Amino acid sequence: MLKFLIIGQGLAGTLVGHRLEQAGHEVHYVDAPEQTASSAIAAGIVNPITGRRFVKSWKIDDLIPEAKTLYANLEQQLGHKIWYASPLVRTLYNRGDRNDWQARSADPGYADYMEDEPNPGQIPAITAPVFAYAGVRHAARVDVAGLVGSVRKKLVQEDRLLSGAMEYEDIPEVLGAAAGAGGRLKKKGYYNHVVCCEGWRARYNPYFSYLPHGGNKGEVLIIKTKAPLLDRMFKHRVFLVPLANGTYWVGATSENRFTDDSPTPTNRQFLEDRLAEILTGTEYEIIGHHAAVRPTVKDRRMFIGQHPEVPGLWIFNGLGTKGASLAPLGSRWLTEAILEGKDIPAEVDIQRF
């Protein structure tokens, strides 16, 4: 049995830890709960067809089966639902959009994901009229916050979570089997491997600061409406995602230049304006406004790999806006590299930098 320390207990760290535990290894975490993580406010949207050009998400044919399997395993372990299969209806703004959509959906590789005339459910009853609707099949919502929160409670009960920011000067010692652990980690002993899953704050990790970390700040609203309620996700300038008890996730903004991860009046107003354009057939109340920074990479691919000079020190990061779909497969690639010596796909291996 190996012993692992994971820095960061967001979605990335949670899934890596779960895979390692399933393989029979001991896993501890260091996490700073007072630091807002993108996992805490993410809607967890799994969207196979994205962008104005209606293209398939990278490796979506592999990502969805992997995600379904892993989240189902976690649902069984934790005793509550995580994966919510949900139709996604999106707006086509004009005839050109509709022609492009229909042309793309005729492609054999796309046909299973695209629907030309979807059932919009209650969307027309509570939203402004649009030119046309299009449907995305195999979409889903992952309850990321519920998953991470449930695992956190379990870790606290089992005394496997150390609350606070990582002291990076401890890493050489905690990776030394003979030296034992230093600093606050002394009681935990040494670790065979340390895995860094710190989200956008990985830019401050001196061991991996050489990587081209990005960051994209997003802000969202949580609203509560009166009936009728939607039973599917809707994309019209922003996403409108049904949650529980008549609440919806509305978002998100996108900001590459930011000074902190706090909500701003400007972006709140932007979201309120978009919401006013969309929801015209029901009253609603804004009950929450949140912000977080997504960990991004310039080539839009994950960071997975071992530090080039420190054996046993790994990183899993850069999930960006698609963490709910990317993290299951990415966590498998990482754990197979550690436990079985398998090669990490070149597209995501940090050796590409």
Question: 82-93, pLDDT tens digit by residue?
Answer: 999 999 999 999
Res 34 pLDDT > 80: no
Res 176 pLDDT > 90: no
Instruction: Pick 196 or 36 by higher pLDDT.
Output: 196
Query: DSSP 3-state helix, strand, coil percentages of the chain (rounded to 5)?
Result: 35, 25, 40
User: Regarding the domain delimited by 3-41+145-213+298-352, which CATH topology (the fold level of the hierarchy) does it fall under?
Assistant: FAD/NAD(P)-binding domain (3.50.50)
Position 193 scores a pLDDT of: 95
| Percent of the chain predicted with pLDDT > 70 | 95
Taking residues 104-110, report their average pLDDT. Answer: 95
Taking residues 137-142, report their average pLDDT. Answer: 97
Q: Please, are residues 350 and 316 in contact by the beta-carbon 8 Å criterion?
A: no
Helix ranges (DSSP H) in 53-143: 60-78, 95-105, 123-126
Taking residues 306-311, report their average pLDDT. Answer: 96
Res 179 pLDDT > 50: no
pLDDT in tens, 244-280: 888 999 999 999 999 888 999 999 999 999 999 999 8
Position 37 scores a pLDDT of: 72
Could you tell me the maximum CA-CA distance found in the chain, to the nearest angstrom? 69
Instruction: Pick 246 or 350 by higher pLDDT.
Output: 350
- d(CA 328, CA 65) in angstroms, rounded, equals 10
Residues of the chain with CATH 3.50.50.60: 3-41+145-213+298-352
- Residue 6 tokens, joined: 């994971």
b/e burial code for range 12-40 (CB count within 10 A of at least 16 → b): bbbbbbbbbeeeebbbbbbbbeebbbbbb
Q: How confident is the model at residue 170 (pLDDT cuts 50, 70, 90)?
A: confident
Taking residues 169-184, report their average pLDDT. Answer: 64
pLDDT in tens, 181-196: 444 554 455 899 999 9
Q: Does domain 87-138+216-294 have CATH number 3.30.9.10?
A: yes
Position 189 scores a pLDDT of: 57
Position 241 scores a pLDDT of: 95
145: how many CB neighbours lie within 10 A of its CB?
16
Position 146 scores a pLDDT of: 95
Res 177 pLDDT > 50: no
Mean pLDDT, the chain, rounded, equals: 92
Residues of the chain with CATH 3.30.9.10: 87-138+216-294
